[in-house]
Chain A
């Protein structure tokens, strides 16, 4: 059995990122921050994937988080990135708690398509909502951090710092959750729900809890993406956005809470490079990358680390 060093690696990695931030160009900090946003959503997807559930609608909560941030700025004049993220996560969790009573009863393709349908309902509502900018969406107020407006060239660094701290805190909490009896139940639910029930646990309740946690993480990510990009629109809830998150989750693998962030960063790198090299066929490059990954690394890039450790 290998020793679990996740809780040691997380703060070291945080320190490394914050130090590197002083030397990174603005565009690189943008990519890293967006990777944290996407990584948070993929972290939630990882929880569901471990229980054998694939959500094709995580964009619902990503978008809810983003629009919560947008609404806080538009209607209340708030612009703090930490407030945005926490509020985005809370709203997403509250909505998931209600919808979870329905979703947690379904498995397999029914769970996937139902989650997709719900995200498309939000898309439809936002497209028709003129108050929220309809198809164009609207701009987000420039970010502040803990009530202070950073100097213009420090905005990206400040947002990235807040993102890294919150994302790694979330990763540490999820890591702890995975060590609790309920957290460890995921592969058991995937394998044999009958046995789970006959051992005295409610698989439905466990799925509901995981669904709410995944939504909260997606909400955090959505609010972060909103304040980083500076603009939100209904496409954040579109099913292709959910597809990108699944791409990242599969790219990452489910073996560690760090994997989704590594996956998101790699996705950002592939996306940026592919777009840079061939703007008209970047989707094809992404498709080929995914194909190669599924063939050669079916358990995600994190399996490379496990292999290295075992040899």
Chain B
């Protein structure tokens, strides 16, 4: 599969803390990649750099032939990279359906549709259906139809997570970055939610990168694992091989007493 996203030599420091240290990663189209590592290892910084929230001090990020290193989050999103958040970012005062309609409205506006002089319901780019139908379709995919008219602020934790991810799908992104999609969700729900998310997202042909702490989730759903430690990618391999790696066992899974790692 061709490489769709290519991070080269990314470096980022916050004062004395190095959050990214020569991070290189080439992500292939249609893959599902798990990002693992302890808190502060650099996973979220990696996602933040790809989505434009944080600019790297050095290095470049190429997406489908574009250099997106210095672009604003909204411009990166318009090119086809969406993200979800560890803490769901919803429009709390609005209903679930209205949350979707706001997102779809933005997609229409960015395509120059649905403006002041337009009439009727314009088809949403990527879906070819009016916004209302796309909203229903996506809510159905994510199992949220029962909450259709419920206020986003009062949804249960799992549904909030799902709505956060459903919102990222309105623009039918080519790459989706999920920041801890199962955090705050009960262990019984984790596999179900992850399965539903991946089914819904993969049905639209989207490449997925997800941050996860639960190694069982990673081994079941990821095709490839990037293990972060101290701002570096220490292992880049298929899940079975990555999770068996002694360094991952020591620094990520915490199977042995952590020993200060010396970088060559």
Contacts and interface: CB of A to CB of B under 8 A. Distances in A.
Interface of A: 176-177, 180-182, 184-185, 187-188, 190-192, 194-202
B91 A180 contact: no
Given A188-B91, A191-B93, A192-B92, A197 B73 contact: yes
A197 B80 CA distance: 14
B96 interface: no
Contacts, number: 77
B74 A177 contact: no
20 contacts: A180-B109, A180-B115, A180-B116, A181-B115, A184-B101, A185-B106, A187-B91, A191-B91, A191-B92, A192-B91, A194-B89, A195-B89, A195-B90, A198-B73, A198-B83, A199-B171, A200-B74, A200-B106, A200-B107, A200-B110
B193 interface: no
Interface residues of B, number: 31
B105 A198 contact: no
B182 interface: no
Contacts of A199: 74, 77, 102-103, 106-107, 167, 170-171
B106 A201 contact: yes
Interface in B81-106: 82-83, 85, 89-94, 101-103, 105-106
Nearest to A181: B105
B51 A181 contact: no
Contacts of A197: 72-74
Contacts of A202: 74
Contact of B102 (A180, A185, A198): A185
Contacts of B106: 181, 185, 196, 199-201
A201 B89 contact: no
B77 A200 contact: yes
Contacts of A194: 85, 89
Contacts of B78: 200
Given A176-B116, A198-B83, 17 more contacts: A177-B116, A180-B109, A180-B116, A182-B105, A185-B106, A188-B91, A188-B102, A191-B94, A195-B89, A195-B91, A197-B72, A197-B74, A198-B77, A198-B82, A198-B168, A200-B78, A200-B107
A41 to B, nearest CB: 22
State the 10 A-B residue pairs at the shortest beta-carbon distance, nearest first. A181-B105, A181-B109, A195-B89, A200-B77, A191-B91, A201-B106, A188-B102, A200-B78, A199-B106, A200-B74
Interface in B58-82: 72-74, 77-78, 82
Nearest to A195: B89
A188 B51 CA distance: 20
A198 B89 contact: yes
A160 B38 CA distance: 70
A63 to B, nearest CB: 29
B136 to A, nearest CB: 15
A202 B73 CA distance: 10
B109 A201 contact: yes
Nearest to B82: A198
Given A176-B116, A188-B102, A195 B109 contact: no
Contacts of B83: 198
A190 B77 contact: no
Nearest to B170: A199
A194 to B, nearest CB: 5
Contacts of A177: 116
A93 to B, nearest CB: 16
A155 B171 CA distance: 55
B175 interface: no
B114 interface: yes
Contacts of A187: 91, 93-94, 102
Given A190-B93, A201-B74, A195 B108 contact: no
B167 A195 contact: yes
A188 B94 contact: yes
Interface in B26-75: 51, 72-74
Contacts of A182: 105, 109
A249 to B, nearest CB: 18
A101 B72 CA distance: 18
A290 B118 CA distance: 40
A195 B170 CA distance: 13
Nearest to B93: A191
Contacts of B114: 180-181
Contact of B108 (A181, A190, A191, A198): A181
B70 to A, nearest CB: 16
Contact of A198 (B74, B107, B110, B115): B74
Interface string B110-148: 100011100000000000000000000000000000000
Nearest to B91: A191
